[in-house]
A = this chain, B = another copy of it.
């Protein structure tokens, strides 16, 4: 077996010890005589895993008791609809900060349900070269909430600090940078994140939400689309995606084992230093479309001198065991997603390859 360096944008790399643990107990979880997938979600074995996943998330992210930790399904795409369905009552308006493709998707979905106001945007033509500066956001104090995207997977930009929204609840799509660094959860009304970057496999969404906000949600929407349903039943109102939650448990156990977010954050900073360092060392060859202060430590994007060279780069990199480097089709170029499970060594290999490629392939 030869494992590659996996720079996929999501679903993405998972830590090898997490996969090995899953493999070793795939036919028998504990001494139970069956796979975790075959356990009832009402039984002690699964319940233990479920509650451990929640407890570890609480511990690792220092989630205060003011907030629920919930497991949902349907991806961030369902969250785009659930947030306004729950919190955007008639006559109210919601503030959205537009920082990229996924912000726009959230905005479009909300417009189907209620009134959207743009509290800030960094769109320039069709691009988003940065996130807003603190003074650029104008929050409507009467807004139901302010929605932001903490990391823009396609554009390669990341907020360095939470926007200040005053008394208005901050709702964040943190799909692509949750658990990559320490955050102050108390500053958020609601955080949602599809698992398939830093949390686990696809098929589960983690929602961290202030209890009073959840309680204030509308009750005239379908039961399964209310956050309160999940909160009242510890995310066991209906059958959860049990294997995905089990994998979340394994990933959280791995994060704790390696030293928690301080260690994860140190690795991510080191990976960013190496990769941006390599880009910056070759300004005539590799160029970044992102302003320095907005650079993401999760999705590093860059261009080569021509599209033909970019195509060759992807092809040669794949042959060298460096996969998933093609940028999103909407923006082109290169993208290395360097989520938690991507190692410093993986990034060193990529940097070495970039050095060589720039030498050998002159435009």
Q: Is residue A23 contacting chain B, with contact meaning CB distance below 8 A?
A: yes
* Distance of A239 Cα from B81 Cα, bound (Å): 16
Chain B neighbourhood of A142, CB < 8 A: none
When all copies of this chain in the complex are counted, the total is: 2
Contact: B28 with A40, CB < 8 Å?
Answer: no
24 pairs, A vs B, C-beta closer than 8 Å: A1-B28, A3-B28, A4-B32, A6-B33, A9-B40, A10-B239, A11-B40, A13-B38, A14-B35, A16-B27, A23-B26, A33-B321, A41-B202, A74-B224, A75-B224, A75-B238, A77-B223, A77-B238, A81-B224, A112-B221, A196-B239, A201-B243, A203-B242, A243-B244
Q: Report whether A3 and B23 are in contact in the complex, using a CB–CB cutoff of 8 Å.
A: no
**Contact pick for A34, options B13, B35, B41, CB 8 Å:** B13
In the complex, what distance in Å separates the CA atom of A201 from the CA atom of B6? Answer: 26
Q: Enumerate A55-91 residues with CB–CB distance to B below 8 Å.
A: 73-78, 80-81, 85
- Whether A3 and B242, one on each chain, are in contact in the complex, defined by CB atoms closer than 8 angstroms, is no
**Lowest 10 CB-CB distances: which A-B pairs, in order?**
A203-B241, A4-B33, A81-B222, A77-B238, A73-B73, A23-B26, A37-B201, A77-B224, A203-B203, A202-B239
Decide: B41 and A11 in contact? CB cutoff 8 A: yes
**In the assembled complex, which residues on chain B have CB atoms less than 8 Å from the CB atom of A225?**
78, 81
Instruction: Return A127 CB to nearest CB of chain B, in Å.
Output: 22
**Given known contacts A23-B23, A222-B112, A40 and B203 CB-to-CB distance under 8 angstroms:** no
Q: Tell me, yes or no, whether A2 is within 8 Å of chain B by CB.
A: yes
Q: A9 CA to B75 CA in the complex, in Å?
A: 26
Q: For the complex, is A22 an interface residue (Cβ under 8 Å from B)?
A: yes
Provide the residues of chain B in CB contact with A237, threshold 8 Å: 77
Partner of A203, one of B8, B26, B204: B204
